[in-house]
């Protein structure tokens, strides 16, 4: 499989090991693992076609086969993860590295290869640019160069009606490329923002649950202490009534009555001390209750923030959906433009071939 994927003219220039992911084609948001473990991801260069590719093979299957173009951008979304979009494969590739250094090395190599691809394209454009069709008749060597490098489709510029059409399509393609990059950036920002919103949403929900549980527990404790306080107050009043009744029955109490009175007085004092302690506990609970009110207010604010975040999340989802629709429209326009450009290239190839025949005919006439 690897031998068929990589031609004899291609040479590896950089390799790294990483976990490979692809964007879910259904949601365009979630990552799907393309490899069960870390695999080798390599940059290859085809000298004959001046083409750079990223290739990775998992088992007997090619999981990455991406041709690098000057319009591609490798984005580091975290310390060990990066991604790039391949419009030809209609997917987004993601790579997870073991260290931040490996990610940085791959990113630097991607930039170098991207710049090299740009220079190769510019060189190809300069080599195949035709400023005047009449020069083909007087320049046999130029025709020979065109025949040798015809397998690399050039961007031609000729005078006449086709020139205007080609320039118009080129401008449209540049505009669509710029629009595509803008949409990709917005989608990336929307995804990052959405992840942050989901994390904050989860945190607020957890805080809300904790506040509700604390409020419920505090209210239950306050009710229980109030009930105990009422019971102690009732017992204290009953004992006081008993003491007053005994004092009224005997103006001078005997030894047994005195002991009973002392016991009741001691019990009363103990109950009063206990009542005082319970009063302090009630006061502390009331203070905590005020704190609970503050927590309740904070919970309400958190709920409001949660609602605002949900609204913002819905707006972001709508923006992402609109951006995806715009991207789809731009891709369709780009495909139509590429088809039109290819048609123009085919017409130019036919004209070049006709001009070459004309040159050969003129040469034969001159020889005669």
Q: What pLDDT digit, counting tens, does each position of 341-365 carry?
A: 988 888 888 889 889 888 888 988 8
Burial category of 74 from C-beta neighbours within 10 Å (exposed 0-12, middle 13-18, buried 19 and up): buried
Cβ-based neighbours of 153, under 8 Å, separated by 6 or more: 342, 345
DSSP state of 79: S
Strand (E) or helix (H) holding 109: helix 100-128
What domains does the chain contain, in order, with CATH numbers? 14-129 (2.30.29.30)
Among candidate residues 42, 39, 70, the one with its CA nearest the CA of residue 55: 42
Tokens of 224: 């229980």
Indicate the pLDDT class of residue 162, thresholds 50, 70 and 90.
Answer: very low
- Among 199-213, 216-230, 234-248, 315-329, where is mean pLDDT lowest? 199-213
- CA distances to 217, 224, 245, 290 from 230, rounded to whole Å, are 20, 10, 23, 22
Distance in angstroms (rounded) separating the CA atoms of residues 15 and 308 = 46
Among candidate residues 74, 148, 141, 66, the one with its CA nearest the CA of residue 105: 74
Contact 44, 52 (CB under 8 A): yes
DSSP state of 24: -
Q: Which of 119-133, 178-192, 261-275: highest mean pLDDT?
A: 261-275
Distance in angstroms (rounded) separating the CA atoms of residues 143 and 355 = 9
Q: What is the DSSP code string of 332-344?
A: HHHHHHHHHHHHH
Q: Mean pLDDT, to the nearest integer, of 291-319? A: 85
DSSP state of 245: H
Q: What are the beta bridge partners of residue 12?
A: 44
The larger pLDDT score, comparing residue 328 to residue 181, is at 328
Phi and psi at residue 187, to the nearest 5°: -65, -40
Per-residue model confidence (pLDDT) at position 135:
40
Per-residue model confidence (pLDDT) at position 163:
40
Q: Is 90 left (phi over 0), alpha (psi -120 to 50) or beta?
A: left
258, pLDDT greater than 50: yes
Biggest CA-to-CA distance, the chain = 164
- Among 47-56, 88-97, 250-259, where is mean pLDDT lowest? 250-259
- Sign of the Cα pseudo-torsion (338, 342, 343, 347, in order): positive
**Taking all residues of the chain, what is their mean pLDDT, rounded to a whole number?**
76
Q: What is the pTM of this model?
A: 0.37
Among candidate residues 125, 113, 111, 68, the one with its CA nearest the CA of residue 93: 68
The CA-CA-CA angle for residues 131, 119, 134, to 5°, reads 10
Per-residue model confidence (pLDDT) at position 115:
94
Indicate the pLDDT class of residue 188, thresholds 50, 70 and 90.
Answer: low
Among candidate residues 362, 358, 363, 355, the one with its CA nearest the CA of residue 156: 355
What are 224-233's contacts with CB under 8 Å, separation 24+?
225/278, 225/281, 225/282, 225/285, 226/282, 228/278, 229/275, 229/278, 229/279, 229/282, 232/271, 232/274, 232/275, 232/278, 233/275
246, pLDDT greater than 70: yes
Per-residue model confidence (pLDDT) at position 5:
63
For the chain, what percent of residues have pLDDT higher than 70? 70
Q: Which of 234-248, 279-293, 296-310: highest mean pLDDT?
A: 296-310
Q: Mean pLDDT, to the nearest integer, of 272-292? A: 79
Query: Strands 10-23 and 31-33, how do they pair?
Result: antiparallel
Per-residue model confidence (pLDDT) at position 179:
58
Tokens of 367: 């020889």
Strand (E) or helix (H) holding 194: helix 161-249
Per-residue model confidence (pLDDT) at position 205:
59
Indicate the pLDDT class of residue 190, thresholds 50, 70 and 90.
Answer: low
101, pLDDT greater than 50: yes
Per-residue model confidence (pLDDT) at position 23:
94
The larger pLDDT score, comparing residue 11 to residue 26, is at 26
Contact 77, 83 (CB under 8 A): yes
Per-residue model confidence (pLDDT) at position 70:
92
């Amino acid at each position: 499989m690897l031998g068929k994927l990589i031609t004899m003219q291609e040479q590896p220039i950089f390799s790294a090991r990483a976990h490979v992911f692809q964007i879910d084609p259904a949601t365009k948001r979630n990552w799907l693992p393309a490899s069960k473990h870390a695999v080798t991801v390599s940059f290859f260069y085809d000298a004959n076609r001046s083409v750079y590719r990223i290739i990775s093979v998992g088992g007997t299957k090619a999981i990455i086969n991406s041709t690098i173009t000057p319009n591609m951008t490798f984005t580091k979304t975290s310390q060990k993860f990066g991604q790039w979009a391949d419009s030809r494969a209609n997917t987004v590739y993601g790579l997870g590295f073991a260290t931040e250094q490996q990610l940085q090395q791959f990113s630097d190599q991607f930039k170098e290869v991207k710049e090299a691809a740009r220079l190769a394209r510019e060189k190809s454009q300069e080599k195949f640019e035709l400023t005047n069709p009449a020069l083909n008749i007087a320049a046999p060597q130029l025709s020979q160069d065109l025949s040798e490098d015809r397998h690399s489709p050039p961007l031609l510029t000729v005078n006449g009606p086709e020139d205007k059409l080609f320039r118009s399509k080129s401008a449209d393609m540049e505009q669509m490329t710029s629009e595509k990059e803008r949409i990709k950036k917005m989608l990336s920002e929307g995804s990052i923002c959405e992840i942050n919103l989901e994390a904050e949403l989860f945190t607020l929900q957890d805080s809300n649950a904790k506040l509700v549980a604390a409020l419920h527990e505090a209210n239950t404790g306050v009710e229980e202490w109030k009930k105990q306080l009422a019971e102690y107050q009732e017992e204290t009043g009953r004992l006081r009534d008993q003491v007053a009744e005994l004092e009224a029955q005997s103006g001078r109490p005997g030894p047994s009555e005195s002991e009973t009175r002392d016991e009741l007085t001691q019990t009363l004092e103990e109950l009063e001390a206990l009542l005082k302690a319970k009063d302090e506990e009630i006061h502390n609970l009331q203070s905590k209750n005020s704190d609970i009110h503050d927590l309740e207010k904070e919970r309400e604010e958190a709920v409001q923030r949660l609602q605002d975040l949900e609204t913002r999340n819905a707006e972001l989802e709508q923006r992402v959906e609109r951006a995806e629709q715009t991207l789809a429209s731009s891709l369709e326009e780009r495909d139509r433009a590429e088809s039109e450009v290819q048609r123009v290239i085919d017409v130019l190839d036919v004209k070049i071939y006709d001009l070459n025949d004309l040159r050969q005919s003129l040469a034969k006439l001159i020889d005669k």
